[in-house]
Structure 1
Amino acid sequence: MANQVQGLPSWRLLSRISVILFTFYVVISLITVSIRGTEVGENLLPTKPSLQAAHFAGSKEIDQQDLWNEAKVKYSHLADDKFTIAMLTYRRPKELNHTLAVLLEEKIPSLHEIVIIWGDIQADMPKSFKSKHNVPVRFRMAFKDSLNEKLRPDPQIETQAVLLTDDDVYYRPKDLEFVFQSWRKFGRYRLTGALARCADVDAKGTYNYNFCSGKQRDSYSMILTNLCFSHMSFLDYYWSNDRTMVKGSLQDKGPC
């Protein structure tokens, strides 16, 4: 240009510099927003577990399932058309004698054996015998004074089904056959029993243990093991190395 002052850049050069600066600003702004968005996203969005963490969680689940599957296979050879009564007793000879007298008075077709777990490890056990209906009554010394002893899998038991009970629980023997056949048909891998309990959570988050009264009678949270049918595999799994088992708490703190 004829009128351009020497030493000053032309307008075209200034325009190019402006475009370059604007583009640089936009790029820097986008990078900054992306970084901030990533930081926020890490706080708000769930992240995928690492391969190591996922492998550990999967291994634990597989281990639990393997333990349960092994327990079921282990006792599959036992008779499934008979059941054994496993009864825990501790220094209550009067109650024990009464319960045995009632159980052995009439014939229970599918009853194979009664095993008395002798909880008083300081006292001598009575001798084993057979009833007039030829049902063996076998006394077994507990390893220690613990409610867990009733749940200990007895290697001498010859049936898959075990009726867990105590020496002070009274019931009609003729009902046992019906309950056993119902267990075989519907609840083989469930606890099937007569004494249900409920556990509710109050406003403070505390669990309340109760007898399922009122509206709760049609639902329950647990079955007590002082009168219920169980599969031998459950007892084996209970005594396994699975860390979710509560036998340690039962030993330390006793029943609820």
Structure 2
Amino acid sequence: MLHYNINPEYKSLIKEFRDIKTWFHKEGTTIYKIRNEIKIIEIDRLRLCVKSFGRPNIINKFVYAWLRKSKAQRSFINSEKLLKLGIETPEPIAWLEFRDRFGFITHSYYISLYQEHAFTFEGVFGKDLAAREDIIRDFAHYAWEQLHLKGVEHLDLGQGNILVRPHAERWHFSLVDTNRMRFNRKKLRRRGFVNLRRLGGSPIEMSMLANYYAEAKNKNPFWGIIQLSFYKLRFQTLRSLRKAITKPFIYLLPAH
């Protein structure tokens, strides 16, 4: 059974979307494929970014059936919220879910317009890029002024989820992979550094980021460097510990 929601401006595409299981694996160009697969596909002269989510494990099957919206739904809803706040993200087109007779998701997709960009933030850290410091500075101001000051927390704010493109005065940024987000997070005005902990720059690059972020907040740069260093070290330590604990049990959860 198909469940979906489509942006009213693109309702003419619903016929094609209904057959997505048929054409997704045949059409387009894959740009990412690990747990999920992302493809660039052209339909009716529109360049679309189509994300096929991997099938949930046995626990999440029950969660998405009755307790929580799917990743596809949340991607669509959160992208709409971002745009309403004036925060760039690729325009959401539709989400689609196929469920079996028990209500469990078998296939799910999120579709957005493809957004042109120069590179992701992965092309900034550790790269011999002339504008590297300018990009880091502009992103630090963006993180404070456009995200944290507005109470927006992207829970997967890693390099691959930040699109970067040049602009006349400042570098511009756009967020993708929006299924895990929080809004109205007033405490981010005090603890915004914690949301930058997933970024994987060198110690010098992270210090640069912390310095410019503190500058955007009119705070002490040295204290900013200490805070970001602490949150990043804590994040890395807890992640390593979690992997060590869960590794013996990971094989108990089927991939599909």
Task: Tell whether the structures are fold-level matches, with TM greater than 0.5.
Answer: no
Report which of the two structures shows the higher radius of gyration computed on alpha carbons: 1
TM-score range, shorter chain: under 0.3
